Amino acid sequence: MLFSLRLLPIVAMSVSAVVIPSPPGQYDVFYNTAKMIEKTRVDPFDPKNGSRAVMTSIFAPTHCKVDLEKINYLPPQQPNTTPTYIAQWDFPTGRSTCPEPPKGRHLQFPVVVFSPALGTTRLFYNAIAQAVASAGYIVVSIDHPYDAEFLEFPDGSIVTAANITDAQVPLDVNTRARDVSFVLDQLSTKAGVAALLPRTGAAGLKTRRVAMYGHSVGGAAAAEAMRLDCRVVAGANLDGSMFGPVVQQGVRGPFLLFGHENKTQTTDPSWAEFWSNLRGWKLELELAQAQHYAFSDLSYLMKLLGVPVQNVPAMQKMVGNLDVAKAFEIVHRTVTAFLGFGLRQASSAPLEEVISQYPEVSVFAEGK
């Protein structure tokens, strides 16, 4: 039931200097990363009972006044510690970002949190996050240590996966949700914002009403974060089963469930129960021809690398048969339109308009 990138096939590729196209929205995007340490919380997965520490990335919309900079899709890794699934790939290098952090009114954009799949680095969702940010959202993605297969902090220290068991997943989901609350606390302070947005002098971002989307266990964490933290007012779960008390308790705000082909509340009992307990606007979508990792950047990266997914059967099993560029576009446009509804507009009509443009997307259930 749970997927992990440990299953990712080893694909040797030697395509170089593949450039990632500029994001589709009207804004340029500033990118930065920071470690955030919660001194008062013991990490439940750390055998040494250390303080919980997470890695974050920010994608902040801005109108860039200087030349855009091309940065690597993934940061350079230390050769001896690079997991094989990263080492074997020659990832695209040119991701266009603005080297200057946003100022003034651009610091007022709504905040959106992203949480990745179990075992999967947040970095494999950079292109989707950047596309969402370019539409006018400050996206902050989080890597959860001991869950991510491999997490490197800025000082070079590394935390590898604790190999979370099925029985530990509810604790993992709860821990992720608490990570979200901590990151929101940080983003509401001058020092916390300065870590991600240096030189802006911002007193804090607008964290009183935020939204969250997540892939797989990250989507379950979006629901759990809504349950535990009233600042999270809307949530989207991309293809993740639900875990923990939120299945019975539900949430009140708008919630989107978006599954791959045949992952619906008919096939996933956790979705059926969660759905019946949702007390606000709700929508369940199904993406035809897609598999679990169609909701990450992987299929898009294959496209940019010029490798037909059909030529790599193990990869095809992970992302499905949907046209890979289409999958990327559908996911970021649907998420962006949902966020617009959850944070900005009273009407879900723009979201419905986006969905109607893609025959691959079907409405499995809707309710209010």
Ligand X SMILES: *[C@@H]1O[C@H](CO)[C@@H](O)[C@H](O)[C@H]1NC(C)=O
Distance of CA 269 to the CA centre of its chain: 24
Task: Pick the closer one to ligand X by CB: 28 or 147.
Answer: 147
Tell me the closest approach of the beta carbon of residue 267 to ligand X, in angstroms: 9
Task: Pick the closer one to ligand X by CB: 4 or 93.
Answer: 4
Task: Pick the closer one to ligand X by CB: 159 or 242.
Answer: 159
Tell me the closest approach of the beta carbon of residue 161 to ligand X, in angstroms: 6
DSSP state of 94: B
The answer to whether the beta carbons of residues 132 and 332 sit under 8 Å apart is yes
Query: Which residues, in sequence order, are CB contacts of 230 under 8 Å at separation 6+?
Result: none
Q: How far is CA 338 from CA 23, 176, 248, 359, in A?
A: 18, 22, 24, 18
The answer to whether the beta carbons of residues 226 and 212 sit under 8 Å apart is yes
Task: Pick the closer one to ligand X by CB: 31 or 146.
Answer: 146
Burial class (CB in 10 A: 0-12, 13-18, 19+), 75: exposed
Q: How many CA atoms does the CB half-sphere of 181 hold within 13 Å? A: 16
Tell me the closest approach of the beta carbon of residue 190 to ligand X, in angstroms: 34
Task: Pick the closer one to ligand X by CB: 106 or 144.
Answer: 144
Tell me the closest approach of the beta carbon of residue 63 to ligand X, in angstroms: 42
Q: CA-CA distance, 260 to 223, in Å (whole number)?
A: 19
Tell me the closest approach of the beta carbon of residue 359 to ligand X, in angstroms: 16
Residues near ligand X (CB under 6 A) are 48-49, 161-163, 261-262
